[in-house]
Structure 1
Amino acid sequence: MKLNRIKRRNGNSLILELTPLIDVVFLLLIFFLVATTFEDVDSSIKIDLPTSTVKSTKAVDELQVIVTKEREYFISYKEKGKNKREKTSAKELKNALAQKLMESQDKNVIISADKSVSHGVIVDVMTASKEAGANSLDIDTASPGK
C-alpha cells in the first residue's frame, strides 16, 4: 500500500507516521487485557457427591464425625498417635464434639456420611459441629472407582 503524500501550501509534503498510532493501539490493547477480569472456571461447586477426584495432601488427624446408613453416629479422633472411635447419639453429638474440640488444636471437623443419609441429617451434624466450636467443616468424599 502506497501512502499518498499530502501537498502543503508552502510546498512541503506531509507524511502520515503510523508508528506512534500503532504504539497507542498496542498500549490500549494491553490496558484492556490487564484490566479485564476473567471468570475462574475451577471455582465452580461440584454437586456430584459422594465421589470426588480431589485428593487431600495432608494426613487426617482432625476430628471426624461418621454417620452410617442406620443413622449411627461415631466420633473418630487421634489421641497420642492412636486412632480412637466413640459411638454417640444425635442428641449427645454436640456435647461430645465440644469436649473433643477443646482438646484439638486446629478445630477442624470432617463429616463422613453414607451417601444414603438424607441431607437434613448432614445439616444437623454441621450445625452441631459449629455450635460445639468448630472453625471449619469438611465433607469427606471417596475417589471414583472405590
Structure 2
Amino acid sequence: MKLNRIKRRSGNSLILELTPLIDVVFLLLIFFLVATTFEDVNSSIKIDLPTSTVKSTKPVNELQVIVTKDKEFFISYKDKGKSKREKVSAKDLKEELAQKLIESEGKNVIISADKSVNHGIIVDTMTAAKEAGAISLDIDTASPGK
C-alpha cells in the first residue's frame, strides 16, 4: 500500500491527487445538510400553551390559527409543501380562513392560543372557523413539563 500520494515525475513538477480531497468535501457537505435543523415557520411567535395530559394527533392538511397574548391573529398553512404564515386582523379572520380552506385540501383547523387569552376570543375564533367552512376544530395544548 502506498502511503505517499504525491508523485514526482521528471523535473520539478508534482502531481497531487485531488480525488480523495473532493470525496471528503462532498461527505462533509452531505453531513452538514443532513444534520441541519430547519426552523419552524411559527417558532418566532411566542405563545404559552395550556398543558394537557391527553395526546392529540394533528391532521396532515390543517390550517393553524395562532392567537398571541397581545390578541394578534396569525394563520399558518402549507402552500405547495412549504409552511407559510400570515398575520390577519380579527375582523378579517373569517374571510381569510374561508379562502385558505378553499385552497387547502383539508378542512381541519387547529387553534393555538396563549393560555392568557380570554375564553371569549377563543370561542369567537372557533365560530369564525366553523362559519368559514372548517369541519374539524382542535385546540392545541402543550405536554406537561414543556
TM-score by length of 1: 0.63
> What is the alpha-carbon distance in structure 2 between the residues aligned to residue 62 and residue 108 of structure 1?
5
Q: Give aligned pairs, total.
A: 98
1:11-36 per-residue CA deviation (whole Å, 9 max, x = no partner) reads: xxxxxxxxxxxxxxxxxxxxxxxxxx
Could you tell me how far 1:59 is from its partner in structure 2? 6.1
> Which amino acid letter does the alignment assign opposite residue 116 of structure 2?
S
Q: Which string of whole-angstrom CA distances, capped at 9 and with x for unpartnered residues, describes residues 46-65 of structure 1?
A: xxx82112334456541000
Q: Name the SS of the counterpart of 2:145 in structure 1.
A: coil
Aligned equivalents of 1:123 and 1:99: distance in 2?
A: 20
Alignment identity in percent? 81
**2:69 and 2:114 in contact (8 A); partners too:** yes
TM-score of the aligned structures, taking structure 2 as reference length: 0.63
- 2:91 match: 91
Structure 2 matches for 1:69-108, cutoff 5 A?
A: 69-108=69-108
Taking only aligned residues, the RMSD between alpha carbons, in angstroms, comes to 1.6
**Residue matched to 2:140:** 140
User: Which protein is bigger by CA-based radius of gyration?
Assistant: 1
The amino acid across from 2:79 in the alignment is E
Counterpart Cα distance in 2 of 1:59 and 1:90 = 25
